[in-house]
């Protein structure tokens, strides 16, 4: 079953919301979106409702526990990526004054892809497009994106 239309867009009000969208991108990398959607309530719970400071403070024994937690997708690299991405997001938030200011500093979509793929783990070209679209950052129309980034 394919999703019906584009994902819902949001106006993130907190770093927690940015982190949740990025975590969804990480989990969907190489997986069916429906598997992620079905597990999402458990994933949210396991990741403390994406409280960014709590996630950023997670330590290896907590990741070990998550690799045994059936509520989540138990891919250790993805679990570690979410913690790493939370830390990076906090750093960028401090550096730019807000995470939105970090996003707004990009000259264009190509620059956003290049920089975000360096700054965050498990964020590919499509994942970056998805993330930026959901948080209402200006992305090219989907058909143009697909033609350029097959």
pLDDT in tens, 134-150: 999 999 999 999 999 88
Tokens, residue 85: 């991405």
Closest to 103 (Cα-Cα) out of 139, 127, 78: 139
pTM: 0.94
Closest to 91 (Cα-Cα) out of 112, 115, 119: 119
The tens digit of pLDDT for each residue in 14-59 reads 999 999 999 999 999 999 889 999 999 999 999 999 999 999 999 9
Question: Rg for the chain (alpha carbons), in Å?
Answer: 15
The tens digit of pLDDT for each residue in 76-117 reads 999 999 999 999 999 999 999 999 999 999 999 999 999 999
pLDDT at 5: 74
pLDDT at 3: 52
List helix spans (H) across 29-141.
33-46, 52-56, 60-66, 76-96, 99-104, 109-119, 125-134
Burial class for 113, CB neighbours closer than 10 Å (0-12, 13-18, 19+):
buried
Q: Which CATH superfamily is domain 15-148 in?
A: Hypothetical protein; domain 2 (1.10.340.30)
């Amino acid at each position: 079953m394919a999703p019906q239309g584009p994902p819902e867009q949001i106006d993130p009000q907190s770093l927690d919301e940015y982190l949740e969208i990025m975590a969804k991108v990480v989990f969907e990398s190489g997986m069916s979106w429906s598997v992620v959607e079905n597990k999402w309530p458990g994933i949210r719970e396991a990741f403390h409702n994406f409280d960014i400071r709590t996630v950023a403070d997670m330590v290896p024994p907590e990741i070990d526990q998550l690799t045994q937690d059936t509520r989540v997708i138990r891919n250790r690299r993805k679990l570690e990526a979410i913690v790493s991405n939370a830390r990076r997001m906090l750093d960028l938030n401090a550096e730019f004054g807000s995470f939105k200011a970090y996003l707004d500093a990009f000259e264009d979509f190509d620059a956003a892809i290049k920089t975000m793929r360096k700054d965050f783990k498990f964020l590919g070209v499509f994942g970056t497009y998805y993330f930026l679209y959901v948080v209402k950052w200006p992305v090219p129309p989907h058909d143009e994106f697909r033609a350029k980034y097959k």
